[in-house]
Structure 1
Amino acid sequence: MRDAAAVMAGGAAGTLARAGLAEALPVHPGAWPWATFAVNIVGTLILGWVVVARAQWRPLVGTGFCGALTTFSTFQVQIVVLGDDGHVPLAATYLAVSVVVGLAAASLGRRLATRSAAP
């Protein structure tokens, strides 16, 4: 029950953070979806850190906050919309950059956690 409460609390915070960033950085047709890109990269960095650093924080920070902050489905739909609207090079770039930077963020998060845990 404690884990469920932690997931809900983290999810509420992640949802508010994502909604705030989406409002601050609205998506414009044919433009880079900055809010989605930012939440996915930041969430991946944090998740990379939390899976190594603090097992007890995973329900709150990993499943809750990062789960609500990040959005794979919106990322996918934005790529399809960009392509359907004739912005195929931008769609392909957004896909490639998101995957590469996301993997780098996950790796960096894990490295930061490993370094902070080292004696």
Structure 2
Amino acid sequence: MNWLYVCVGAAVGAPLRYLTDRAVQARHDALFPWGTFTVNVAGCLLLGLLTGAASAGAPVLAAPQAQLLLATGLCGALSTYSTFSYETLRLAEQGAARYALLNVAASLAAGLGAAFAGVALARAAWG
């Protein structure tokens, strides 16, 4: 039954990723992959919120089914390491090494910052 929770979460996360990516990228006519950057940082923030709330004792979010549905399914499909990797490689191959390095550094810094912020916000709300 656990796989069903993951599938349902992913069924929401994947289209949300695609639609958000396209909406953000359409607003930025740039070489930098703003759409993927946005969904990955949003996924890190959401995962931080979820895990922070669960560890602080939020009863509904601490349930294993909620973690499978939201953390594994939704966040797993919302964020995308493979697209981040491909787009970084594409930037490097196109001679945009600075953008490739910026993508790696900014994604790492913003993703970690968002995860920490999510945990801190959740603990403040539920702790």
Structure 2: give runs of 5+ residues left out of the alignment: 54-60
Task: Give the conservation status (yes or no) of the 8 Å contact 1:82–1:88.
Answer: yes
Task: Report the alpha carbon displacement of residue 89 of structure 1 after superposing the two structures with TM.
Answer: 0.7
In 2: Cα distance, 1:26 partner to 1:116 partner: 33
TM-score, length-normalised on structure 2? 0.84
What residue in structure 2 maps to residue 115 of structure 1? 124
Structure 1 vs Structure 2: percent identity of aligned residues? 37
Task: Report the alpha carbon displacement of residue 5 of structure 1 after superposing the two structures with TM.
Answer: 2.2
What residue in structure 1 maps to residue 37 of structure 2? 37
What residue in structure 1 maps to residue 57 of structure 2? none
Task: Give the conservation status (yes or no) of the 8 Å contact 2:42–2:114.
Answer: yes
Structure 1: give runs of 5+ residues left out of the alignment: none
**For the aligned residues, what is the CA RMSD?**
1.8
Task: Give the conservation status (yes or no) of the 8 Å contact 1:30–1:85.
Answer: no
Deviations 1:26-70 (A, max 9, x none): 488961111100110000001111112122221111001000010
Deviations 1:1-43 (A, max 9, x none): 1x32221111010011011123323488961111100110000
Question: How many residue pairs align between the two structures?
Answer: 117
Runs of 4+ in 1 over 6 A off after TM superposition: 27-30
TM-score, length-normalised on structure 1? 0.90
In 1: Cα distance, 2:17 partner to 2:107 partner: 17
